[in-house]
Structure 1
Amino acid sequence: MESSNNIMPPNLKQRIALYISARGLVNLDVMSKSDPQVEVYLKDKNTNWTLVGKTERINNNLNPDFSNFIECDYFFEKEQFVRFMAYDIDDNKGHKEFIGKVETTIGKICGALKQTFVSELKDDKHTKSRGKLIVRLDSINSSNDEARIKLSANLVSLSSMCCSAVNDPYFIISRARSQENREEFVRIFKGDVKLSNINPVWNPIKLKVAQICNGDHDLPIKFSVYSQIESGNDLFYGEAETTVNKLKSGDKRLNLSKKGKNGGALIIDQFVVIEMPNFMEYLRSGWAVNMSFAVDFTASNGEQSQLNSLHYQNPQSGVMNQYESAIWAVGRVVEPYALNCQFATFGFGGVPRFLGATSVSHCFNLNGQPNPQIIGLQNVFNAYKVAVNNTSLSGPTYMAPILKALLGYVQQCIQFQMYHCMVILTDGDIVDMTDTTDMVVQLSAFPVSIIIIGVGDDSFEKMKYLDSDDKVLQGKSGKAVRDIVQFVKFQDYKNQDIGVLAEEVLKEMPDQIVGYMLMKGIKPQKLEWVSVDNAVLSHNESAQVEIQQQLPQ
């Protein structure tokens, strides 16, 4: 019997997005309303719950529609248990009170009417509902194209008897679920709030076209403009509908309507769709990835012999410390991409006695050799275990010397098709913040990504500053030309499957690589086959042979 084309073959996964809303949440605050956020977990093969994503926090709102959606893989043939945990986040430090949870399966969400799943939030202490959770499921189109959008507005001024400053506008972008379901919209993006301004000009944004319209350029999309009110009862200017095709063809002014009344106009100052190459296309066309590690040996880690030391070695139990776990988790993912599986590996902030040093070094080769390259992740792991027992912890935390060494190496290799990624593992604050910021700004013009993994309990505020997702990093020599830093705090993932840490750490790197290529006008080359030493190699393989033979030692 021939199988139906509508049946998903075994072991075929589909990337899906979960759009989350809630209604009638229990209020846990006294002087205001709860500030809800939802965390989403999947049960892994070992029956552990693994965090796969979280929504943003929405202030003072018991009926939130979250803009941050959750992506995950859906397997038709598997029973995938999913848990939604709703919290009231009381401050910027992440203190949270539990509102309630819902447990179900991806299959039940997929099979719900219009793929919209509704359930009561419950907790173990209360039998009554803590509010309703609403989850809408959509498949994700795999297009990598990106839209560059710049918006402004001319708004009709709002007034209120209870508010002295109500014209604090922001915008929401939503899209219809499908052409068949054009009445129901899901939120995909929320813009920044512009205070006391009826003629706001918002910062340019970049969104995947698949996110905006899921690959259908004629799918209705909606722009809604609100004024933020501290109580959470935001005021509505109006909304307008359009499509990607209309925006591409020149829609420049969208009149905002609120029940037939004029709320002003949203101005489309820019809407450009950029055809984005895929990260894998560059790897296939000959680009190599050069990986390196830098490990913090400052005294704030705690003396290695102490049980509470972040560098403590436990040969009896074999339990890895945070540095070992991070090296292994991230290295395991990136090793296949690393040029000949080699990693330049450094230490900083300690006294490397195995090198004969008697004073602190802020950049030393972890293998004790003139060439810092170590072949294979296991040997990197072993080199760390040897070095940590032969290095006196010192300090303070200077990061600029490590980045300066990286810049020097990159400049020597600029003629090669090679992208560099440095993973920095550190427990402390940065002392030379000005110099470090300036080095990051300089490196942003080169084929470089910097991943910082924070271990321990530090607040890491300066690390978060370097991870400038929402702003342009400013240094002494000017502004960064692109965002190259990704910061992740290890503690947020220590109770999860270690692979989740690697996924979070590395998720921005492909886009950073493609961003550099587009900035330099570099397009992926077509795959060619050449002869090297009587062997037929792809252009990719022969390029890596040439790179390896010519790299500075």
Structure 2
Amino acid sequence: MEALKSRIALYISCRKLKDLDAMSKSDPQVEVLMKERGSGQWALLGKTEIVRNNLNPDFSKFIECDYYFEREQHVRFMVYDVDGSNKDFIGMNECTIAQIIGSVRQTYLADLTLEHNKTSRGKLVVRLDSVNVSNDEIRLKLKATLQPISNLCCYGVNNPYYVIQRARDPANPTDFVRTFQSPSLRNTHQPIFNPIKAKLVQICNGNKDLPIKFSFYSSIPEGTDEFYGESETTINKIIQGQKDLDVFKNASRIGTMQIEQFTLVEMPSFMDYLRSGWGINTSFAIDFTASNGEIFEPGSLHKIDASGRVLNQYEEAILGVGQIIEPYALQSQFAVFGFGGIPRYMGANKPSHCFNLNGQPNPIIIGLQNVYTQYKYSIANTGLAGPTYFQHVLRALLAYVQQSLALQMYHCMIIITDGEIHDMPETTDTIVELSKYPVSIIIIGVGDDDFINMRRLDSDDSVLKNSKGQAAMRDIVQFVRFKDYSGAGKNVSGLAEDVLKEMPDQIVNYMLSQNIKPAKLEWQDINKLGVSTIVKQ
């Protein structure tokens, strides 16, 4: 699946730049580069205009780029004093898009320095905003009355489904691409299809005047599906009241379709909520059960390489996913738990199914590197035991979430485990309960297990239900298997992308389910951030 992306704009200012002109002030310009994925080379995203004789410039030209929540995107800001064909280097700053987004009100402030001299040569101010790309969704329900298929070659079957296609280019409305296909219904030529929900950009690329087609087919077992006919319209025509359309095949009318329900829902974006003050609270839960193998065994999933050059799967998962999520974590704080082991460094002599990895009453560890260091210490001083229970760490999460509902905080728990769980009913019940709250659960499976139960918890193909038959309010679990990203020819960096790609939509869906709208903030009031140096001068 292609990674989910947003289009963003970077608005750039500088303050108190070092003056490199002897007779006047510098004429600054900023070049913005992004590190290319894979090659690691820096590529130019764009340049601002040149502002003459100004050490505190606010550039009018902004820089656009695609933003991927699940990727680590490094950007470099290079500030020059430009005089004709000559340009002198003032200073630079390097960060990630996530750091900008995670800054207060998405206003990133940093020093400009030389590569080997960290003395400040001025301040860089980057404000981030969304480009006007539609995040809206449509809700659609339709029915049709079609000419029955009754010829012998199709065995008299009428199993209709519909396909939505959109024109690729408004100027060329004959070239259509498929964007959606409904499930088929059985034994009817008068189908009433279930409602669908889809992104507006998926259906019509965000252009409500772009031609779209509803094409109807009959599903033919062991054969080629039979084409009934099609209708053409636009989203705007539907909005304006077009509900009944004729269905044509080869210019002959063969039936009708009716749009029974249509709603266009204006959807805020994940970034809108971060900008309005919501934060992400992140926690890790790490499997210390005996099935991982003792750390001195050659095949142990917890084996620590003394040189530090070879990472085990737990280390790679912690660092790979953690470096993506850390910029969003409030003050880089992580609540870190272990389960299924005997934490002897805490004085324990029997298995614990939820213990604070740092051995303290408060499980918070500040900084990803400290999480990594604590993991290495803990695995060397913990007896591996079992069985594998999830319910205890999930109930610890549930208790904390319930206590912190007054905060603008979304919670993400990352569970790293090697095998199937032994308390599936209790775990399912707890996840269904958690689905009511601002929570996402990410499960990373390490080792060679088939993880059947983990895939059930992911519930991509069916709604997760508890022991009482109650359905989860939302899909909050994302499972990935580490093995799919490791080994020859595979890309471990892709792990973080697939782990995190569902989370932005999970956050937005929770907010909408609670009728929470992002607050509107103005950029002008940046003095409230406590940064007096970046106000216009």
TM-score by length of 1: 0.69
Q: Distance in 1 between matches of 2:425 and 2:352?
A: 19
Q: Identity percentage over the alignment?
A: 57
1:487 equivalenced with 2:487 (yes/no): no
1:518 equivalenced with 2:534 (yes/no): no
Q: Distance in 2 between matches of 1:382 and 1:165?
A: 67
Segments of 5+ residues of structure 1 without an aligned counterpart are 1-8, 14-41, 48-71, 75-139, 540-553
User: Structure 1 pair 529/228, CA: closer, same or farther in 2 (3 Å)?
Assistant: closer
Following superposition, the deviation at residue 347 of structure 1 comes to 1.2
Task: Give CA deviations for 1:117-163 in whole Å, capped at 9, x if unaligned.
Answer: xxxxxxxxxxxxxxxxxxxxxxx982111112233434433235355
User: Structure 1 pair 335/232, CA: closer, same or farther in 2 (3 Å)?
Assistant: farther
Following superposition, the deviation at residue 445 of structure 1 comes to 1.1
Paired position in structure 2 for 1:16: none
- For 2:410, which of 419, 422, 427 is the aligned residue? 419
SS state at 1:518 partner: helix
1:433 equivalenced with 2:424 (yes/no): yes
Q: Distance in 2 between matches of 1:506 and 1:316?
A: 30
1:499 equivalenced with 2:503 (yes/no): no
Paired position in structure 1 for 2:39: 45
Following superposition, the deviation at residue 433 of structure 1 comes to 1.8
CA contact (8 A) 1:473 1:479 kept: yes
Residues 194-233 of structure 1 aligned to structure 2 (within 5 Å): 194-233=185-224
Q: Distance in 2 between matches of 1:167 and 1:472?
A: 28
Following superposition, the deviation at residue 340 of structure 1 comes to 0.9
Segments of 5+ residues of structure 2 without an aligned counterpart are 1-29, 42-64, 68-130, 532-537
Paired position in structure 2 for 1:99: none
Following superposition, the deviation at residue 361 of structure 1 comes to 1.8
User: Structure 1 pair 451/242, CA: closer, same or farther in 2 (3 Å)?
Assistant: same
- For 1:151, which of 142, 157, 176 is the aligned residue? 142
Residues 265-284 of structure 1 aligned to structure 2 (within 5 Å): 265-284=256-275
Paired position in structure 2 for 1:336: 327
Considering only CA atoms, is the larger Rg found in Structure 1 or Structure 2?
2
SS state at 1:177 partner: strand
Q: Distance in 2 between matches of 1:371 and 1:537?
A: 29
Q: Distance in 2 between matches of 1:177 and 1:459?
A: 41
CA contact (8 A) 1:141 1:215 kept: no
CA contact (8 A) 2:146 2:190 kept: yes
Paired position in structure 1 for 2:297: 306
TM-score by length of 2: 0.71
Q: Distance in 2 between matches of 1:223 and 1:325?
A: 46
Q: Distance in 1 between matches of 2:425 and 2:144?
A: 37
Following superposition, the deviation at residue 527 of structure 1 comes to 2.6
1:322 equivalenced with 2:316 (yes/no): no
1:527 equivalenced with 2:483 (yes/no): no
Residues 59-458 of structure 1 aligned to structure 2 (within 5 Å): 142-161=133-152, 164=155, 166-316=157-307, 318-458=309-449
Q: Distance in 2 between matches of 1:486 and 1:473?
A: 13
Following superposition, the deviation at residue 185 of structure 1 comes to 0.5
Following superposition, the deviation at residue 276 of structure 1 comes to 1.1
SS state at 1:182 partner: strand
Following superposition, the deviation at residue 376 of structure 1 comes to 0.3
Count of matched residue positions in the alignment of Structure 1 and Structure 2: 412
Q: Distance in 1 between matches of 2:410 and 2:530?
A: 19
Task: Give CA deviations for 1:515-539 in whole Å, capped at 9, x if unaligned.
Answer: 11111111111337999xxx94379
SS state at 1:380 partner: helix
CA contact (8 A) 2:145 2:256 kept: yes
Q: Distance in 1 between matches of 2:260 and 2:425?
A: 35
User: Structure 1 pair 442/316, CA: closer, same or farther in 2 (3 Å)?
Assistant: same
CA contact (8 A) 1:529 1:536 kept: no
Q: Distance in 2 between matches of 1:522 and 1:447?
A: 11
Following superposition, the deviation at residue 264 of structure 1 comes to 3.8
Task: Give CA deviations for 1:231-264 in whole Å, capped at 9, x if unaligned.
Answer: 3511112211111111222333333322244554
User: Structure 1 pair 274/369, CA: closer, same or farther in 2 (3 Å)?
Assistant: same
User: Structure 1 pair 178/537, CA: closer, same or farther in 2 (3 Å)?
Assistant: same
Q: Distance in 1 between matches of 2:319 and 2:192?
A: 45
| 2:473 counterpart letter in structure 1 | V
CA contact (8 A) 1:530 1:538 kept: no
Following superposition, the deviation at residue 324 of structure 1 comes to 1.0
SS state at 2:216 partner: strand
Task: Give CA deviations for 1:5-30 in whole Å, capped at 9, x if unaligned.
Answer: xxxx99799xxxxxxxxxxxxxxxxx
Q: Bigger CA drift: 507-516 or 475-484?
A: 475-484
SS state at 1:341 partner: strand
User: Structure 1 pair 298/530, CA: closer, same or farther in 2 (3 Å)?
Assistant: farther
Question: Which 4+ residue blocks in structure 1 deviate beyond 4 angstroms?
Answer: 9-13, 162-165, 528-531
User: Structure 1 pair 159/12, CA: closer, same or farther in 2 (3 Å)?
Assistant: farther
Task: Give CA deviations for 1:385-444 in whole Å, capped at 9, x if unaligned.
Answer: 111122222222221221111110000101111110111111212222222122111111
| 1:510 counterpart letter in structure 2 | P
SS state at 1:195 partner: coil
CA contact (8 A) 2:231 2:247 kept: yes
Following superposition, the deviation at residue 466 of structure 1 comes to 1.9
Q: Distance in 2 between matches of 1:238 and 1:151?
A: 15
Following superposition, the deviation at residue 191 of structure 1 comes to 1.7
CA contact (8 A) 2:218 2:227 kept: yes
CA contact (8 A) 1:166 1:227 kept: yes
CA contact (8 A) 1:175 1:219 kept: yes
RMSD of aligned C-alpha atoms?
A: 3.0
